[in-house]
């Protein structure tokens, strides 16, 4: 007997509700895509940074820019004389002008710590064709041991020119507690810092022998970094290549990094970070974190590493968090990556502990979720090619491995070690968790 029309409509409604409440697991890749499109725009917004060729296109600049040459303000460029004061005078002129380029010619300039402060009257271009060399007299850093060259609150800034920034870090490495455990651990300067700088480009420079970190972007937005060569000895302590903290919308392109620590380190408050065509080695790989140290609440999201090559690094792509912290690291993609003799190619470590004494066990942790590893191939220098050491209380969620092929460099199969991780596979994946 046919059901009455109102009964039939009621039955259809019940069926539709049952589908809506079903517990069929969702595709982690789909979840990742949806989360990324909500929170993060991986196609970075075009920045309005200054380019020498675009001076005449800016509405407020109708004539050729004023060229402010540091030599005209007393810089000698002989590698022996202190040129700090001349650079300060030249910067004041550049910053106060509506159309100026800060010019560092092809000489060797010795500098003490110096801050290039803004805000400036208009857009600024810095053209470095020579070499900036840091003073190795530790007493010169008595007022500020954390910085050597710093751009502070400068907007619409372009720094380029093919020159070299040399942190002259050997004296600092010799006095590091990482080199000599009998010494107290003290800060050493970052070679080049951009603090509260928005709409900037940094390109075509060599940055070497950083006292500690080489380049740091802090509390900045809309950044393009390209064509950098960053180098320091493999045993130089804490010499991260490019450090990013509390910075949004940053692209790093076509850059070669070989140092004694992370090639790129991404810390709390960073969002929409894209690293493309990165060559890394030696060093500690590309790291998100550490996060959660000192029981802090940290957030990182919208990170993409695409097209990287790692050679002989201690890690490949790594996420590291301390026990006791909180917050999250989410919506992360590592894709199209080549590994060669990398000790730990793929790592999530929620029990990170970088201190002399063992870290105590704690219940809270930084949540790690929605991480995609895609098209990663090459060789591992250790038996374990994939390691997920996640928190029992806050397991890693939505971790996807797609088209992974990691072999031990000796030709035998690599292994995977997996604790407290919600994992799924796509395509051919080797190694897989037991």
Residue 175 φ then ψ, to 5°: -105, 20
Residues of the chain where predicted confidence (pLDDT) is lower than 70: 1-63
Distance (Å, whole) CA 107 – CA 113 = 19
Distance (Å, whole) CA 415 – CA 406 = 9
Residue 214 among the catalytic residues: no
Distance (Å, whole) CA 299 – CA 367 = 9
Q: Taking the domains of the chain in order of start, what are their residue ranges?
A: 285-434
The answer to whether the Cα torsion of 373, 374, 379, 384 is positive or negative is: positive
Distance (Å, whole) CA 84 – CA 113 = 8
Distance (Å, whole) CA 122 – CA 96 = 8
pLDDT (tens digit per residue) in 23-61? 333 454 554 455 545 444 443 343 444 444 444 333 344
Active-site pick, 33, 147, 284, 408: 284
Residue 26 φ then ψ, to 5°: -85, 155
Q: Note the CATH architecture for domain 285-434.
A: 3 Solenoid (2.160)
Provide the β-strand partners of residue 333.
304, 372
Entry pTM: 0.89
Give the pLDDT score at 39.
Answer: 46
pLDDT (tens digit per residue) in 228-259? 999 999 999 999 999 999 999 999 999 999 99
What are the angstrom distances between the C-alpha of 376 and each of 98, 252, 262, 426?
48, 20, 19, 12
Distance (Å, whole) CA 180 – CA 242 = 25
- Is 215 within 8 Å of 230 (Cβ atoms)? yes
Distance (Å, whole) CA 424 – CA 28 = 8
Q: Cβ–Cβ contacts within 10 Å for residue 360, how many?
A: 8
Distance (Å, whole) CA 60 – CA 235 = 49
Helices (H) and strands (E) in the chain, counts: 4, 31
Tell me how far the alpha carbon of residue 411 is from its chain's centroid. 32
- For the chain, how far is it from start to end, CA to CA, in angstroms? 56
């Amino acid at each position: 007997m046919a059901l009455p029309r109102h009964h039939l409509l009621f039955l259809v409604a019940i069926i539709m509700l049952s589908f809506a409440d079903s517990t069929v697991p969702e595709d982690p890749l789909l979840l990742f895509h949806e989360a990324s499109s909500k929170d993060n725009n991986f196609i970075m917004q075009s920045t309005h940074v200054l380019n020498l060729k675009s001076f005449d296109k800016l509405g407020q600049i109708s004539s050729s820019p004023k060229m402010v040459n540091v030599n005209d303000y007393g810089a000698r460029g002989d590698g022996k004389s202190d040129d700090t004061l001349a650079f300060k005078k030249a910067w004041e002129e550049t910053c106060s002008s509506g159309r100026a380029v800060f010019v560092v010619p092809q000489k060797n300039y010795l500098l003490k710590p110096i801050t290039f402060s803004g805000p400036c009257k208009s857009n600024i271009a810095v053209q470095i064709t020579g070499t900036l060399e840091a003073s190795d007299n530790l007493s010169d850093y008595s007022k500020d041991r954390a910085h050597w060259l710093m751009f502070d609150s400068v907007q619409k800034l372009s720094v380029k020119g093919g020159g070299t920034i040399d942190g002259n870090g050997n004296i600092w490495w010799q006095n590091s507690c990482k080199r000599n455990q009998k010494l107290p651990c003290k800060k050493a300067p970052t070679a080049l810092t951009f603090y509260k700088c928005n709409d900037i480009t940094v390109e075509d420079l060599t940055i070497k022998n950083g006292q500690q970190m080489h380049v740091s972007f802090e509390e900045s937005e809309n950044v393009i970094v390209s064509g950098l060569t960053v180098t320091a000895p493999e045993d130089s302590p804490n010499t991260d290549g490019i450090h990013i903290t509390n910075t949004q919308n940053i692209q790093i392109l076509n850059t070669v990094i070989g140092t004694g620590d992370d090639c790129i380190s991404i810390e709390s408050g960073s969002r929409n970070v894209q690293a493309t065509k990165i060559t890394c080695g030696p060093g500690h790989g590309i790291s998100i974190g550490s996060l959660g140290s000192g029981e802090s609440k940290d957030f990182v999201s919208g990170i993409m590493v695409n097209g990287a090559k790692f050679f002989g690094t201690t890690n490949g792509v790594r996420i590291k968090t301390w026990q006791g912290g909180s917050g999250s690291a989410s919506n992360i993609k590592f894709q199209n990556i080549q590994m060669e003799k990398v000790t730990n190619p793929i790592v999530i470590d929620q029990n990170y502990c970088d201190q002399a004494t063992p870290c105590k066990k704690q219940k809270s942790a930084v949540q790690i979720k929605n991480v995609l590893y895609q098209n990663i191939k090459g060789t591992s220098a250790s038996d374990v090619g994939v390691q997920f050491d996640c928190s029992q209380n806050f397991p890693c969620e939505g971790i996807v491995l797609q088209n992974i092929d990691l072999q031990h460099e000796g030709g035998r199969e690599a292994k995977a070690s997996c604790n407290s991780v919600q994992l799924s596979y796509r395509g051919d994946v080797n190694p897989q968790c037991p």
